[in-house]
């Protein structure tokens, strides 16, 4: 039984701006079901987003929503969370927003271990600006600024965040919304910086340029390319509380909950210090 | 009870902020502003506030805007190179109408420039730094006590007009030591954590529906009112709009909301202007040299006066135009190539001569250079071409 989360949406803002076949709505649905399952009151939910297609989703969530500048949502969210620790703060960002122009803010939010849930929509392309390469575009793939194939290697956002000190790192896919919902629940529960990268699809640019078909074909290709992971998701083995179960690794990308650690959370450190009047 | 202490301008800045209820500071180190951050790092945890050193200047102002939306009075401090990086979020805060305070302690530029020699080269950047048309409120203290006073007032103005307020001063004002009345830390500690009071709201909250020419008071996130904030042009609901009528209305009222004198006591300082024939216009540390020059000019029989703006932007149009109707010349002294002088020229509109005295060598302007320009302007008859003076 899939929960009805329309109450979390600003239905008056519909229709939304996303293209037919875009995977972002699937991801938002999974996120809102996780929020609903954890019974986060809407008045205590803040959604902070940057610039790009995925960041526009913030405006459709009936919560305190902050649509910021390109790449800098995590910095805004850091200030908001520090000022209002009681809020559940979710950051929506894209692969260009979070890993290119906002890469610095991502690694430092991870290092500080601010209690934010960062959802990075990875569709390997800049959608809003017309299909240019992203830092997640694989070498050889075509884009409007890579007409002969992308000459650069791609970023592994999860490895980056883990390396920077992130205490919850996971990767899911729009193909598997139920698995994704479960990852989001764990991420929202995690008392520290959580990073969930989600493979999603852009049929209008990425799919068209690379002749991979429409939305359904792109989602299907996620399954086809990540069979081993699909199997893991079915078995729900991707949740590994002790961090020992080996996550799936296909096509150079790992899936599942890839890393968990416990470190002092920054908001608590700051307010603990304020409560003590500055001393130790 | 405040008592006089010998402190530097940057210290007074931090005390002014904290005494005004500032409980959040996010910044990135840069001379000659770093003492503001260091003082805030020491003070804030003692008064129930949060200090965070961010990864860069974009993040610093972003965090301030986020904290302000959360209900804390928030500030950052920087210098020219960092101020350039903050323009992105100055524009954002201006459009999204989120209160915050940005201190810019000016050093000689452009680029990395001459760290950390004094200059007043960020005056136009403070006005025009971000893209698009947006309102600005820039305060210009000329001494340590005034740094304290104006920094404190900046928070009140930021909340009243829901806008970023820039406190702009030069390296000399930031680093020089003068006696100033600062509240003891113990007194500040008793104030505890201050949060912006959120007004009662009758649903729906329309965060951008203006009343009496200004936006309604901001309701903090987490106070039970859900709304949307964006850097896209929006209507009174806060949601983006592409309706040209609404876009035009929104930008029109945004750009009209800050009056020339934004609050009582922020009128320009006028010194000996009643019968003046030549009025020196100067701000920041240059105004101190200018006042000395005016006194020397008076002593030698020249009818000189001083106009010192406390608010650089919006510029004091009414006062300048009134003076222009009765004086022969303005001498505009500043440590740049004439940034505010051009604004004076625009407002005076050829009704009086405007003589620039500019210096961009990393040293403060001395009274002698200003006095010489006053004497020359006073000695001239008619309205010839203004003789610019660049040391």
pLDDT in tens, A22-31: 999 999 999 9
Question: What is residue B323's predicted lDDT score, i.e. its pLDDT?
Answer: 98
3-state secondary structure A79-131: HHHHHCCCCEEEEEEEHHHHHHHCHHHHHHHHHHCCCCEEEEEECCEECCCCC
**Per-residue confidence band for B174, with pLDDT thresholds at 50, 70 and 90:** very high
Return the percentage of chain B with pLDDT > 90, whole number: 91
Distance from CA of A8 to the nearest CA of B (A): 11
Answer whether residue B284 shows pLDDT above 50: yes
Range of the domain at A235: 18-275
Answer whether residue A99 shows pLDDT above 60: yes
Answer whether residue B288 shows pLDDT above 60: yes
Are residues B62 and A278, on separate chains, in Cβ contact within 8 Å? Answer: no
Are residues B52 and A65, on separate chains, in Cβ contact within 8 Å? Answer: no
Return the percentage of chain A with pLDDT > 70, whole number: 88
Residues of A208-244 as b/e, b for ≥16 C-beta within 10 angstroms? ebbebbebeebbebbeebbeebbebbeeeebeeeeee
Q: State whether residue A86 sits within 8 Å of chain B by CB.
A: yes
Instruction: Determine, yes or no, domain membership for A185.
Output: yes
Say what the ipTM of the complex is. Answer: 0.95
Q: Searching chain B, which residue's CA lies closest to the CA of residue A61?
A: B228
Instruction: Determine, yes or no, domain membership for A12.
Output: no
Are residues A67 and B229, on separate chains, in Cβ contact within 8 Å? Answer: yes
Q: Searching chain A, which residue's CA lies closest to the CA of residue B47?
A: A277
Answer whether residue A154 shows pLDDT above 80: yes
Is the bond preceding B204 in cis, omega lying within 30 degrees of 0?
yes
Rounded CA-CA distance A258/A102 in Å is 22
Rounded CA-CA distance B158/B139 in Å is 11
Instruction: Determine, yes or no, domain membership for A117.
Output: yes
Cα-Cα-Cα-Cα dihedral sign, residues B33, B34, B38, B40:
positive
pLDDT in tens, B362-382: 999 999 999 999 999 998 744
Instruction: Determine, yes or no, domain membership for A153.
Output: yes
Distance from CA of B328 to the nearest CA of A (A): 48
Are residues B70 and A42, on separate chains, in Cβ contact within 8 Å? Answer: no
Chain A residues in contact with B49 by the CB 8 A cut-off are: 274
User: Which token pair is A106?
Assistant: 């991502």
Question: What is residue A279's predicted lDDT score, i.e. its pLDDT?
Answer: 66
Between these two residues, B391 and B289, which has the higher pLDDT value? B289
Interface of A with B in 115-134 (CB under 8 A): none
Q: Searching chain A, which residue's CA lies closest to the CA of residue B75?
A: A79
Tell me the residue ranges of DSSP E strands in A109-193.
117-122, 125-126, 132-133, 168-173
Distance from CA of A240 to the nearest CA of B (A): 32
pLDDT in tens, A41-51: 999 999 999 99
Instruction: Determine, yes or no, domain membership for A13.
Output: no
Tell me the residue ranges of DSSP E strands in B183-321.
228-230, 269-271, 278-281, 304-308, 311-313
Chain A residues in contact with B73 by the CB 8 A cut-off are: none
> What's the whole-number mean pLDDT along residues A57-61?
98
Are residues A273 and B49, on separate chains, in Cβ contact within 8 Å? Answer: no
Chain B residues in contact with A64 by the CB 8 A cut-off are: 221-222, 226-227
Mean of the per-residue pLDDT values of chain A: 89
Number of folded domains in chain A?
1
Region for B34 from its dihedrals, namely left if φ exceeds 0, alpha if ψ lies in -120 to 50, beta otherwise = alpha
Answer whether residue A102 shows pLDDT above 90: yes
Question: What is residue A205's predicted lDDT score, i.e. its pLDDT?
Answer: 93
Task: Choose the mutation target among A35, A76, A165 for the interface with B, i.e. most B CBs under 10 Å.
Answer: A76
Least CB-CB distance to A44: which of B44, B71, B222?
B222
Least CB-CB distance to B70: which of A62, A84, A105?
A84
Question: What is residue B201's predicted lDDT score, i.e. its pLDDT?
Answer: 86
Question: What is residue B380's predicted lDDT score, i.e. its pLDDT?
Answer: 75
Instruction: Determine, yes or no, domain membership for A8.
Output: no
**Per-residue confidence band for A255, with pLDDT thresholds at 50, 70 and 90:** confident
Q: State whether residue A14 sits within 8 Å of chain B by CB.
A: no
Question: What is residue A243's predicted lDDT score, i.e. its pLDDT?
Answer: 44
> What's the whole-number mean pLDDT along residues B180-205?
88
Question: What is residue A232's predicted lDDT score, i.e. its pLDDT?
Answer: 45
**pTM above the 0.80 mark?**
yes
Chain A residues in contact with B24 by the CB 8 A cut-off are: 79, 82-83
Q: Catalogue all structural domains in chain B, each as residue range(s) with its CATH number.
A: 3-191 (3.40.50.970), 269-390 (3.40.50.920)
Q: Which residues 6+ apart lie within 8 Å of B111 measured at CB? A: B81
Q: State whether residue A113 sits within 8 Å of chain B by CB.
A: no
Distance from CA of A6 to the nearest CA of B (A): 16
Rounded CA-CA distance A103/A168 in Å is 17
Q: Searching chain A, which residue's CA lies closest to the CA of residue B188?
A: A277
Instruction: Determine, yes or no, domain membership for A210.
Output: yes
Question: What is residue B200's predicted lDDT score, i.e. its pLDDT?
Answer: 85
Q: Searching chain A, which residue's CA lies closest to the CA of residue B231?
A: A68
Are residues B66 and A278, on separate chains, in Cβ contact within 8 Å? Answer: no
Task: Choose the mutation target among A79, A80, A106, A111 for the interface with B, i.e. most B CBs under 10 Å.
Answer: A79
**Per-residue confidence band for A252, with pLDDT thresholds at 50, 70 and 90:** low
User: Which token pair is A128?
Assistant: 């809003």
Question: What is residue B129's predicted lDDT score, i.e. its pLDDT?
Answer: 98
Rounded CA-CA distance B103/A105 in Å is 22
Rounded CA-CA distance B92/A165 in Å is 30
Chain A residues in contact with B69 by the CB 8 A cut-off are: 66, 79-80, 83
Question: What is residue B193's predicted lDDT score, i.e. its pLDDT?
Answer: 86
**Per-residue confidence band for A221, with pLDDT thresholds at 50, 70 and 90:** confident
Are residues B46 and A278, on separate chains, in Cβ contact within 8 Å? Answer: yes
Rounded CA-CA distance A180/A119 in Å is 11
Are residues A87 and B224, on separate chains, in Cβ contact within 8 Å? Answer: no
Q: Searching chain A, which residue's CA lies closest to the CA of residue B46?
A: A277
> What's the whole-number mean pLDDT along residues B331-353?
97
Answer whether residue A244 shows pLDDT above 80: no
CB-defined contacts A:B, below 8 A? 146
Chain A residues in contact with B52 by the CB 8 A cut-off are: 78, 82, 270
Instruction: Determine, yes or no, domain membership for A231.
Output: yes
Are residues A82 and B224, on separate chains, in Cβ contact within 8 Å? Answer: no
Cα-Cα-Cα-Cα dihedral sign, residues B370, B372, B375, B377:
negative
Tell me the residue ranges of DSSP E strands in B162-277.
164-170, 177-182, 228-230, 269-271
Question: What is residue A220's predicted lDDT score, i.e. its pLDDT?
Answer: 81
Q: Supply the CATH number for residue A243's domain.
A: 3.40.50.970
User: Which token pair is A7?
Assistant: 């109450």
Question: What is residue A254's predicted lDDT score, i.e. its pLDDT?
Answer: 77
Question: What is residue A239's predicted lDDT score, i.e. its pLDDT?
Answer: 43
Q: State whether residue A104 sits within 8 Å of chain B by CB.
A: yes
Task: Choose the mutation target among A71, A75, A102 for the interface with B, i.e. most B CBs under 10 Å.
Answer: A75
Least confident residue range of A99-103, A240-244, B2-6, B249-253: A240-244
Q: Searching chain A, which residue's CA lies closest to the CA of residue B87?
A: A69
């Amino acid at each position: 039984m899939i929960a009805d989360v329309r109450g979390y949406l600003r239905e008056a803002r519909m229709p939304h701006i996303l293209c037919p076949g875009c995977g972002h709505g699937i991801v938002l649905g999974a996120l809102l079901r996780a929020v609903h399952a954890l019974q986060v009151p809407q008045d205590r939910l803040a959604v902070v987003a940057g610039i790009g297609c995925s960041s526009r989703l913030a405006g459709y969530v009936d919560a305190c929503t902050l649509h910021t500048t390109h790449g800098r949502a995590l910095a805004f969210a850091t200030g908001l969370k520090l000022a209002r620790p009681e809020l559940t703060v979710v950051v929506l960002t894209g692969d260009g927003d979070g890993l290119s122009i906002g890469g610095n803010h991502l690694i430092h939010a991870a290092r500080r271990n601010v209690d934010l849930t960062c959802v990075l929509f990875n569709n390997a392309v800049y959608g809003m600006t017309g299909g240019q390469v992203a830092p997640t575009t694989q070498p050889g793939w075509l884009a409007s600024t890579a007409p002969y194939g992308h000459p650069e290697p791609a970023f592994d956002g999860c490895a980056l965040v883990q390396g920077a000190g992130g205490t919850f790192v996971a990767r899911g896919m729009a193909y598997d919304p139920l698995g994704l919902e479960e990852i989001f629940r764990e991420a929202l529960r995690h008392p520290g910086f959580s990073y969930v990268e989600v493979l999603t699809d852009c049929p209008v640019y990425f799919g068209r340029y690379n002749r991979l078909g429409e939305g359904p074909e792109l989602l299907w290709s996620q399954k086809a390319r990540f069979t081993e992971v699909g199997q893991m998701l079915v078995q729900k083995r991707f949740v590994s509380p002790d961090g020992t179960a080996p996550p799936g690794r296909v096509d150079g990308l790992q899936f599942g909950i890839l890393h968990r650690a416990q470190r002092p959370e920054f908001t608590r450190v700051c307010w603990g210090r304020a409560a003590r009047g500055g001393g130790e | 009870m405040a008592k006089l202490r010998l402190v530097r301008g940057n210290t007074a800045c931090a005390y002014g902020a904290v005494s005004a209820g500032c409980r959040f500071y996010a910044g990135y180190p840069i001379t000659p502003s770093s003492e503001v951050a260091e003082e805030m790092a020491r003070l804030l945890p003692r008064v129930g506030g949060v200090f965070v050193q961010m990864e860069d200047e974009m993040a610093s102002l972003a965090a301030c805007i986020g904290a302000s939306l959360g209900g804390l009075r928030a500030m950052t401090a920087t210098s020219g190179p960092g101020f350039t990086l903050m323009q992105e979020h100055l524009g954002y805060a201006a459009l999204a109408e989120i209160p915050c305070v940005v201190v810019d302690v000016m050093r000689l530029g452009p680029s990395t420039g001459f760290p950390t020699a004094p200059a007043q080269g960020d005056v136009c950047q403070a006005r025009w730094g971000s893209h698009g048309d947006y309102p600005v409120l820039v305060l210009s203290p000329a001494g340590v006590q005034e740094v304290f006073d104006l920094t404190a007032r900046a928070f009140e103005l930021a909340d009243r007009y829901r806008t970023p307020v820039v406190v702009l001063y030069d390296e000399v004002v930031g680093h020089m030591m003068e006696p100033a009345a600062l509240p003891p830390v113990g007194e500040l500690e008793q104030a505890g954590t201050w949060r912006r009071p959120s007004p009662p709201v009758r649903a729906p909250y329309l965060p951008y529906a203006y009343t009496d020419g200004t936006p309604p008071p901001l309701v903090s996130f987490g106070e039970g009112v859900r709304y949307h904030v964006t850097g896209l042009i929006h209507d009174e609901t806060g949601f983006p709009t592409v309706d040209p009528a609404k876009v035009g209305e929104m930008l029109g009222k945004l750009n009209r909301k800050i009056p020339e004198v934004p609050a009582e006591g922020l009128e320009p300082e006028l010194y000996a202007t009643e019968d003046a024939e030549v009025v020196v216009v100067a701000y920041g540390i240059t105004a101190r040299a200018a006042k000395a020059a005016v006194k020397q000019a008076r002593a030698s029989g020249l009818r000189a006066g001083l106009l010192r703006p406390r608010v650089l932007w919006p510029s004091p149009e009414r006062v300048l135009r009134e003076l222009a109707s009765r004086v022969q010349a303005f001498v505009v002294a500043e440590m740049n190539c004439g940034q505010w002088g051009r604004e004076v020229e625009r407002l005076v509109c050829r009704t009086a001569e405007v003589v620039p005295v500019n210096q961009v060598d990393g040293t403060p302007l001395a009274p002698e250079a200003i006095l010489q320009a006053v004497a020359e302007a006073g000695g001239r008859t008619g309205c010839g071409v203004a003789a610019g003076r660049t040391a």
